[in-house]
Amino acid sequence: MRFVLQVFGVALMLSGGLWALQGLGLVMWPAESFMLAEQRWALYGTITFLIGLLLFWRAARRR
């Protein structure tokens, strides 16, 4: 279960990071994405990243 939570946490961190960077307009890929330069997606991405970080941290502390 610990490994699954860590993998899921990393997946959330990666996707949240991408969403945040797209929302901030720093990553303009893919060109047809509806998330590009939309600040609400930067917020959603940051929240998703933090949830993934929390999952990963909690799983790492688990015995």
Domain interval for residue 49: 2-61
Give yes or no for a contact between 18 and 45, defined as CB atoms under 8 angstroms apart. yes
Given pLDDT bands bounded at 50, 70 and 90, which one contains residue 63? confident
- How many CB atoms are located within 10 Å of the residue 23 CB? 21
- pLDDT for 48 beyond 90: yes
Mean pLDDT value of segment 17-41:
95
Handedness of CA 51, 47, 7, 61 (dihedral sign): negative
Please tell me the total count of domains within the chain. 1
Mean pLDDT value of segment 48-61:
96
Q: What percent of the chain has pLDDT over 90?
A: 95
- The pLDDT, as a whole number, for residue 6 is 96
Q: Kindly state the helix (H) or strand (E) to which residue 59 belongs, with its residue range.
A: helix 39-61
Q: How many CA atoms lie within 13 A of 63 on its CB side?
A: 0
Task: Tell me which residue of 42, 46, 43, 49 sits closest to 13, measured CA to CA.
Answer: 49
pTM: 0.91
